[in-house]
Structure 1
Amino acid sequence: MNLNELTQKLIDIESVTGNENEVINFIEKYLTDEGYDGEIFRNEGGLIVSSPSSNPKIALVGHLDTVPIDENQKIVSDEENIYGRGSVDMKAGVAVMMKTLLDKNKDVIGVFYTAEEGSSEQNGLNFLMDILKKDFSIELAIVMEPSSLECQLGCNGSLNANLDLVGISSHSARPWMGENPFFKLNKVADYLSENEIKDFDIDGLIYKQVVTVTKIQGGVANNVTPPKISMNVNFRFVPTFSSDDAENYIKDELEQFGEVTIKNIATGALPNKNLGMISEFISKTGLDVTPKQGWTDVARFTDEGIPAINFGPGDPLLAHTSDEFVNKNEILESYEILKKFLEST
């Protein structure tokens, strides 16, 4: 199978989070059948693929799961593009990893993991990271997330908080007997219109800090004013913020409107563009360098002291969409960029 055929085959294997076994089986069998003579280690987190006689210093990293398939998902491919759930995020990147491993470069290890699209606790790297740190001396992790063939550095942190706008319920025919929290939404909306997006320059890269509402719930019956309105506030904070910084910031900003409960936090990663192998990757590939707007597992590797970048085929703006697709030439180009870099390292 060529790269396009391999990408299509991976897309055809449904692997929504929690259902990755079939695609793991396929990758393991494919590498073996194609003559890969290294070690293939498997546990509940996924696969680690490496040459037994080497000490690889570069990890190619890709998650195998996808978000659920849209009932209107476009799946018919054409001469230029491959369509389907996971084409961009990130079956094309996984295909490039598989082909690169077959080149048998002894500096390279492959990490195929599960449940990136699920909760942080589910993430397959939780079961693989200790092994990677114990058995290997990785100097650069290339997370094959779609990057439009840019070298995307660092990533935002992510915080989810519950904001309760508390009122006093009443009969809907006598709303003056209570206090409807609906009207407090105006103040939240006014705040967000002024503060939803802020730009921060970090190492010459512009990261956007974002505070936005993603869910709203309220009401108990058609004839009762709501006792409270609850909303999920998602805060994508800049890489310079610690988890404490992010929590304190969102509480300071939102407690003027209601009760704030922090649900979860994942810190981001600094770009580190002048650091060792990251700097070498940038200089040798000549790729455009941009900030990663969003959270990726680059943050996990950075937290573990392993320099990491985002690089892979596909437009990240198409991820999770009903018309998700990846350009065939971009798949091949990403493979060739990696091959050239690895041969020069």
Structure 2
Amino acid sequence: MLDLRGDPIALTAALVDIASESRHESRIADEVENALRGQTSGFEVIRSGNAVLARTNRGMPTRVLLAGHLDTVPAADNVPSRRDGEILHGCGTVDMKAGDAVFLHLAASICEPAHDLTLVFYDCEEIEASANGLGRIERELPDWLRADVAVLGEPTDGFIEAGCQGTLRVVIRTSGTRAHSARSWLGDNAIHKLASVLDRLAGYQARSVDIDGCGYREGLSAVRIDGGVAGNVIPDAASVTVNFRFAPDRSVEQALTHVCEVFDGLDVTIEQTDSAAGALPGLSQPAAAALVEAAGGQVRAKYGWTDVSRFAALGIPAVNYGPGDPNLAHRRDERVHVGQITAAVDMLHAYLSR
């Protein structure tokens, strides 16, 4: 059985040693469920598929939710774990079994809680959003996601990373007239028309905005170009896929309006193909402000999209906070400095205790 009350570094290693690629989390969910039922006091524990949920109901004035996903990307000859001095190697050490271990250890070791506590360990975060276990819980068990503040154990290098950017993808298409390239003047080259689109992108001035003391910088980038028929044909169709990473003070609709304004006046069509709303940090809320204080003010904006957006949509301030360098996630040499694990335990223990 997992030892929740022992060394959280050893607990991290034990979790890493349980292979849990997305859609194959049943064994780790079994182990987490059994450990929570056997080693914590005052928690209601339930199972939802391969997600495990636990909560206290002590009548505290505030509730803190700690959430972490149990799945990993496919292993790359990096399971089981390996300890080398102050470094723990292995698949999921960073993303995000170190964060899971911190939360499990806290659930079993806090003696004088200052808040009611909810823990959500969910499945299928690393694959398509439609399979995400947190989304299933939101649909089927919404009462379990109610809280005054939520902390996701995503790796943040020991910083609190607040909120997250939104993301929008569009395909911008041009059209022309097909012709033989030996008689190019008889055609209208759709690829050439993309030059005006790329000029707009090259000259784009990204906006920066401060929200709750966190600086979010936006970015508008071409991420794919398609076009061409054959080596001797003037193409009559071409497209560029553009990704807009926007600050969380914009809605998806406002982001799309902005993108359309950037390319206004060009002979193009614009089609939205994907989007996800950002999450406002909400650090002015009392429970979130107390968390920032406990972290010594070590807070910054989250670049990229995470599941904090789900909580923001529910009106719950949410932050990312966990051990590990996010740049090492998913790598063959994924690894975490063990000092970050103990530091996260110490900080959150102080925040969650009286």
What TM-score does the superposition give when structure 1 sets the normalisation length?
Answer: 0.87
Tell which deviates more after alignment, 187-196 or 40-49: 187-196
Q: Once superposed, what is the RMSD of the aligned Cα atoms? A: 3.0
Gaps of 5+ in 2: none
The code of the aligned residue for 1:247 comes to L
User: Secondary structure of 2:297's match?
Assistant: coil
The answer as to 2:123 corresponding to 1:118 is no
Give 3-state SS (helix, strand or coil) of 1:262's partner.
strand
- Kindly provide the CA deviation profile for residues 198-228 of structure 1, in whole angstroms up to 9, marking residues without a partner as x: 3222233210111122333334445544443
Residues 290 and 351, structure 2, Cα contact 8 Å, conserved in 1:
no
Following superposition, the deviation at residue 62 of structure 1 comes to 1.0
CA distance in 2, matches of 1:271, 1:35: 31
2:47 aligned partner: 42
Pick closer, same or farther for the CA change 1:154–1:171 going to 2, 3 Å.
Answer: same
- TM-score (normalizing by structure 2): 0.85
2:70 pairs with 1:64? yes
1:230 aligned partner: 239
State the one-letter code of the partner of 1:288.
Q
Matches within 5 A, 1:200-239: 200-239=209-248
**Deviations for 1:158-190, whole angstroms, at most 9, x for unmatched residues?**
112222233433445554443333334433333
Do the aligned partners of residues 212 and 61 (structure 1) sit closer, same or farther apart at CA in structure 2, a change above 3 Å counting? same
CA shift in 2, pair 1:203/1:307, >3 Å: closer
The residue number in structure 1 matching 2:155 is: 146
Q: Indicate the percent of aligned positions where both proteins have the same amino acid.
A: 34
Partner SS for 1:286? coil
Match of 1:341 in 2: 351
DSSP 3-state at the match of 2:319 = strand
Q: Please report how far the alpha carbon of residue 3 of structure 1 lies from its aligned counterpart in structure 2 after TM superposition.
A: 2.1
Q: How much does 1:335 deviate?
A: 1.0
Do 1:272 and 1:278's aligned partners in 2 also have CA atoms closer than 8 Å? yes
Contact 1:164 1:228 in 2 (8 A): yes
Aligned to 1:102: 108
Corresponding residue to 2:255 among 246, 257, 263: 246
| 5+ long unaligned stretches in structure 1 | none
* C-alpha displacement of 1:72: 9.6
Kindly tell me the number of residue pairs found equivalent between the two proteins: 344
> Post-superposition shift, 1:254?
3.5
Question: In structure 2, the residue corresponding to 1:314 is in which secondary structure?
Answer: coil
1:83 to 89, 93, 115: 89
Q: Residues 107-139 of structure 1: CA distance to partner in whole angstroms, max 9, x if unpaired?
A: 211111223333333322222235665357511
Cα 1:215–1:136 change in 2 (3 A) is closer
* Aligned counterpart, 1:330: 340
Match of 1:28 in 2: 33
| Secondary structure of the structure 1 residue equivalent to 2:45 | strand
Matched, 1:259 2:269: yes
The corresponding residue for 1:282 is 292
Q: Which moved more, 1:280-289 or 1:234-243?
A: 280-289
Residue in 1 that maps onto 2:325: 315
